[in-house]
């Protein structure tokens, strides 16, 4: 409302939003372990996934409504209103007291960071789990964001075709979240996370080989289902293995690559697609994702990990 949102202002807002998200997302991601029983972590992750998918479906139309009613300022105002509405909801949340850890009461940020990384490094389940999650995020973000746009252009699918593919991915991911919400617990969770990660990598590589919108949508449904299940189970395993005292720090470490490093690969993905085409780029990114599944399969402690009852 106070300024004309030109490119530089939007860039500044994006930077500030990213900095805020860097604090908010790990904190919000750590909440399930503090507000529910350990045996319900997978179900809560499924419910959270459903909420995210629903928000993604409704967000576009709501943004369009804001633009139609009030122009750009209306769209930003509606977004601000929705974000602001989350504040009183968060204020009603009551969390349990975390278990004591080995840090002094007034530990510095660097001391907490070192303690979190040390905790991950020393744990036989968390160490390969965080590495596998980082590799999966690193290979997934590029092809399923910028890569998908380039693929739609190469195939001549247009905006509507890309919309169908995105809808297919959202449907698959939503189905995975609904399954976890209903089941509540996945037997042999570590093995399930590793196998679904590998299968989703195969599906990502296959997406670049599709030529029609229908085939691309079907493969996108498979990617959403497999990657959504792998991500939710991985998140539940991380929170159950980290324990209440370290869950925030471990969550931050596990999301660092996905939210901080992986988006920086967009220019590399675009440059590589210009040189070699989308097929090889999708194949390389799928191989990076598959490497995360291989790490999980090769770690016996993670492969045998179970979610608490």
User: 9: which 2 tokens?
Assistant: 């202002």
Residues 6+ apart with CB under 8 A from 192: 186, 229, 230, 233
pTM, full prediction: 0.81
pLDDT of the residue at 118:
83
User: 65: which 2 tokens?
Assistant: 């409504």
pLDDT of the residue at 45:
78
Q: What angle do CA 190, 196, 200 make, to 5 degrees?
A: 145
- The answer to whether 302 and 125 are in contact (CB under 8 A) is yes
Chain position carrying tokens 């979610």: 307
- The answer to whether 181 and 228 are in contact (CB under 8 A) is no
User: 257: which 2 tokens?
Assistant: 């690559």
Report the chain's terminal Cα–Cα distance, integer Å: 50
Q: How many residues does the chain have?
A: 309
Q: At what angle do helices 41-91 and 158-183 cross, to 10 degrees?
A: 100
pLDDT of the residue at 99:
57
Chain position carrying tokens 């079907």: 218
Q: CA 41, CA 259: separation in Å to the nearest integer?
A: 22
Closest by Cα among 63, 21, 30, 23 to 48: 30
What pLDDT tens digit does each residue of the chain (309 aa) get?
666 767 888 888 888 888 888 778 777 877 887 788 777 877 887 888 788 777 776 777 777 787 888 887 888 888 888 889 988 988 888 876 665 555 555 566 677 777 778 888 888 888 999 899 989 988 888 888 888 888 988 889 887 888 888 888 888 888 888 888 887 778 888 999 999 999 999 999 999 999 999 999 999 999 999 998 898 888 888 888 887 677 777 877 777 777 777 778 888 888 998 899 889 999 999 999 999 999 999 998 999 998 877
pLDDT of the residue at 5:
66
Q: CA 120, CA 123: separation in Å to the nearest integer?
A: 5
pLDDT of the residue at 174:
86
Closest by Cα among 133, 137, 171, 166 to 151: 166
Indicate the domain borders of the chain. Answer: 7-57+109-303
Q: CA 176, CA 50: separation in Å to the nearest integer?
A: 9
pLDDT of the residue at 102:
55
Closest by Cα among 223, 234, 280, 224 to 257: 234
CATH code for the domain defined by 7-57+109-303? 1.20.1250.20
- The answer to whether 190 and 302 are in contact (CB under 8 A) is yes
Closest by Cα among 29, 83, 11, 102 to 250: 29
DSSP code of 97? Answer: P
Q: CA 163, CA 141: separation in Å to the nearest integer?
A: 18
Report the run of H or E that residue 84 belongs to, with start and end: helix 41-91
């Amino acid at each position: 409302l106070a300024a004309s949102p030109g490119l530089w202002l939007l860039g500044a807002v994006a930077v500030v939003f990213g900095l805020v998200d860097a604090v908010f997302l790990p904190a919000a991601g750590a909440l399930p372990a503090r507000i529910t029983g350990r045996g319900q972590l997978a179900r809560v992750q499924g419910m959270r996934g459903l909420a995210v998918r629903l928000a993604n479906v409704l967000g576009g139309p709501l943004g369009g409504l804001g633009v139609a009613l009030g122009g750009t300022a209306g769209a930003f105002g509606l977004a601000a209103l929705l974000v602001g509405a989350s504040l009183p909801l968060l204020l009603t949340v009551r969390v349990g007291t975390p278990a004591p850890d080995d840090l002094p009461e007034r530990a510095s940020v660097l001391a907490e960071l070192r303690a979190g990384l040390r905790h991950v490094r020393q744990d036989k389940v968390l160490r390969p789990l965080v590495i596998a999650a980082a590799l999966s995020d690193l290979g997934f973000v590029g092809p399923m964001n910028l890569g998908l746009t380039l693929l739609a252009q190469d195939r001549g699918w247009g905006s509507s075709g890309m919309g169908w593919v995105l809808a297919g991915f959202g449907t698959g991911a939503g189905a995975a979240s609904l399954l976890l919400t209903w089941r509540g617990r996945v037997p042999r969770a570590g093995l399930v996370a590793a196998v679904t990660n590998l299968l989703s990598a195969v599906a990502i590589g296959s997406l670049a080989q599709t030529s029609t919108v229908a085939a691309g949508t079907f493969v996108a449904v498979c990617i959403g289902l497999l990657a959504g299940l792998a991500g939710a189970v991985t998140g539940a395993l991380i929170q159950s293995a980290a324990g209440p005292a370290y869950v925030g720090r471990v969550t931050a470490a596990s999301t660092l690559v996905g939210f901080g490093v992986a988006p920086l690969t967009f220019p590399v993905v675009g440059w590589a697609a210009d040189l070699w085409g989308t097929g090889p780029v999708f194949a390389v990114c799928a191989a990076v994702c598959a490497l995360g599944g291989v790490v999980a399969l090769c770690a016996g402690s993670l492969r045998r990990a179970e979610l608490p009852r």
